[in-house]
Amino acid sequence: MVSNAQLDNEKTNLMYQVDTLRDTLLELEELLCETRRECEEKNRECERERHTHNVLKIQFEEMKETLKQSEELLTALERQKEYSDIIHDEREALRDEVCRLKDALKKRGIVLGSEVTANGEVADRAIDGETASRLNQDSHTPTMTGDGMLEIRLRKLVEERESLLDQVRKLKATAEQKQKNGTEETGSMDEDDLQNGLDPHILDLQRDANRQISDLKFKLVKSVQEVTALEQNIIRLEGQVGRYKTSAEAAEKVEDELKVEKRKLQRELRSALDRIDELEASNSHLAKRLEKMKANRSALLAQQ
């Protein structure tokens, strides 16, 4: 009887241990499911952050390329401005040459009209008005940039300079011809030309020179405006690049943290799986012991 009581107590204890282990196993299974779910969520979040990081990296490269192109364009515009300054100086020299030629023509008896003065003030006022009107028209049109546009403008400036040089040479030739002809050519001028104060051909040349000077002034002002606009764009692009760089660094930091968290969850998952395996082995061992004890009890009862 004592043996039966001991066996009953052991059976009860073993059943209690089995129930306890079963509850522990269920808790570990729930913990494992929760850990897997958290791991999947972290993986998805990591993928989203990685995608965002890649997008920001692409945008950063694009902005870097845009900034590089803007810097190259700004450098080209600075070269164009320097070249325009050279053209401006040459234009002033040509204007002085034209004034000297006009003075020489005056000495030969040709009186300049009010349309073109000795210092070019009237022409300059007309030029400034024309330049202002053209700037107002171009303020509504998109600004053209690029190496091709710069080459076209420089080529035009060179052509205009050559044209001014041709005009100066023509004026010199005209002055020399006037000097050769002397008073006879002065007396043979038409009365209308004398009233106008200048030979029609020379007047046309002067008008062409003034018009080309106006174009040069306009292009110089336009170039300065373009350089200013490009400098503002460069400042804005540098700000955007700084913001993108900060966002990329933050995304990389978040990605590193997510990787650390993922490794931690994987370690916890492996530990939980190992614990489940140990509990299952212990449960199997206890079940075998229980079956053995039942068999021994049955044998004892049969002997009695």
pLDDT tens-digit readout, 177-218: 666 665 444 444 444 444 444 456 666 766 777 787 777 778
pLDDT score, position 108: 64
| Mean of pLDDT values over 31-52 | 80
Tell me, what's the pLDDT at 120? Answer: 41
Judged against a pLDDT cut of 50, whether residue 114 lies above it is answered with: no
pTM: 0.34
Name the residue range of residue 181's domain: 79-244
What integer pLDDT is reported at residue 181 of this predicted model?
A: 66
Same domain for 17 and 86, yes or no, is no
Same domain as 220, residue 91:
yes
Domain boundary among 203, 228, 244: 244
Mean pLDDT in residue range 121-143? 42
Answer yes or no: do 8 and 103 share one domain.
Answer: no
What proportion of the chain, given as a percentage, has pLDDT over 70?
68
Is residue 65 included in any domain, yes or no? no
pLDDT score of 134 more than 60: no
Lowest-confidence region among 111-125, 136-150, 255-269: 111-125
User: Closest by alpha carbon to 215, among 91, 93, 118, 119?
Assistant: 91
What's the pLDDT band for 123 if we cut at 50, 70, 90?
A: very low
Instruction: Please check whether residues 299 and 163 belong to one and the same domain.
Output: no
Q: How confident is the model over 232-266, as pLDDT tens digits?
A: 877 887 787 778 778 778 777 877 787 787 788 87
Contact 173, 201 (CB under 8 A): no
Q: Are residues 40 and 97 in the same domain?
A: no
